[in-house]
Structure 1
Amino acid sequence: MAEPVPSDPDEEAVVRRIRAQNAAFAELDRTPRAHPPSGPVTVSVHGEVFTVPLTVEDVRTALPEPLRTEFDDEIAAAPRTVAARVIRRWALETIPGDALDRVDVLLRAEQRAARPGTAAA
């Protein structure tokens, strides 16, 4: 019989964080937006301020020139049902920091944009 693998509290915390992020994005995807964002959204996460693009035009503008053609091709080929996920993936490319922190920033920006009466920065 194999010995049990000891658990790593740090790894378990990361897994919980990723699950919470996924659940929050799923909730945003389930809730139709009354008004799409009209421009980048500014949010504060972990004491830092970020301006996050949430539209095709804003993401394209925020990307470095070498990535714009790749973005254009991917967004043009994306079925309507997955376009938001494509925009989300590319928006992450414009946010500095490690992967989990970038997801926190994007999530906070999308949550702010989804609130009624919230203006883009």
Structure 2
Amino acid sequence: MVVFRQELGDVLRDARRHQGRTLRQVSSDARVSLGYLSEIERGQKEASSELLAAVTDALGLPLSFVLREVSDRIALTEGVAIPDTVPDSLREGGVTGVGTDHGRPTLVGVR
């Protein structure tokens, strides 16, 4: 069974690591406790919409991109085809696309 909070945590962790940032840096920028953000990344806690907005802002990512990434990962697990509809405007804003790692989408070119 797919658990949304685990997929969300994986996406947030992947984005943070891709940027070469520590959990402490992102938690400070998002004004979220280090322990709580760690639990979010590990899929142990549900993120409120306010917390998620703060974290995605701290990562410099549009919330819609993060949710799309989660949706794509869930779709792959469900065996659903994923159309490539990432707008060019997001690519120009620092996101160059979605790659794959072991059959799962990953963040590529996040600045």
Instruction: Give the TM-score range, shorter chain.
Output: 0.3 to 0.5
TM-score between the two structures when normalised by the length of structure 1: 0.33
| Structure with larger Rg | 1
TM-score between the two structures when normalised by the length of structure 2: 0.35
